[in-house]
């Protein structure tokens, strides 16, 4: 009985996972063409580089390249979502780099700051790390007793 319930549970989980994945794939397939167009608008070089990579794979290793091309065709909703995400990220990175370049051109290499004067400069007493510490040798005394059970184990 427990084995049957376990199999039913595994079948239910597999069905739930299949439903979730097919639902996400269905939603992506509805918006895949707009995502692809958006990727081309945001950063055309991302799309061009992807197709160049596929063509180079076909030239270098035909079996692998054809497998990538077929996978891109079957998984077009996923590929278009990935290209849109990558194009958006590249565009944002380009904006950040341009803003940093314009800041450097304007001469703002350093952040403006205000120096704060402290009233109590010696609020934390720390020892000087540059001075070598003087070591004090302490002689240890060890007493031996005859009632050591450990030595009796090896005799």
Give all strands (DSSP E) within the chain, no chain letters.
Answer: none
Whether the CB-CB separation of 52 and 60 falls below 8 Å is answered with: no
Dihedral through CA 10, CA 15, CA 16, CA 19, nearest 10? Answer: 160
At residue 128, the pLDDT reads 75
Residue 56 tokens read as 């180079």
The residue extents of the domains of the chain are 33-97
At residue 124, the pLDDT reads 73
- What average pLDDT values come out for the chain (155 residues) when binned by 10 residues? 86 95 92 94 94 95 95 94 95 88 67 74 72 75 67 67
At residue 137, the pLDDT reads 79
Q: How many of the other CB atoms lie within 10 Å of CB of 41? A: 12
Determine the Cα–Cα distance for residues 44 and 84; give it in Å rounded to an integer. 10
3-class DSSP state for residue 98?
helix
At residue 19, the pLDDT reads 95
* Contacts of residue 84, Cβ cutoff 8 Å, sequence gap at least 6: 35, 36, 38, 39, 42
């Amino acid at each position: 009985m427990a084995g049957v319930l376990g199999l039913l549970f595994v079948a239910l989980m597999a069905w739930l996972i299949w439903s979730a994945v097919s639902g996400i794939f269905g939603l992506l397939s509805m918006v895949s063409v707009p995502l692809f167009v958006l990727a081309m608008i945001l950063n055309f070089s991302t799309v061009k580089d992807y197709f160049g990579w596929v063509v180079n794979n076909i030239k270098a290793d035909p079996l692998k390249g054809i497998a990538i091309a077929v996978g891109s065709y079957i998984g077009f909703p996923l590929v278009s979502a990935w290209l849109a995400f990558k194009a958006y990220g590249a565009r944002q990175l380009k904006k950040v780099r341009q803003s940093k370049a314009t800041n450097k051109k304007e001469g703002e290499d350093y952040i403006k700051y205000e120096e704060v004067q402290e009233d109590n400069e010696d609020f934390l007493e720390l020892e000087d790390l540059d001075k070598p510490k003087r070591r004090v040798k302490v002689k240890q005394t060890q007493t031996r007793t005859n009632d050591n059970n450990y030595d009796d184990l090896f005799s």
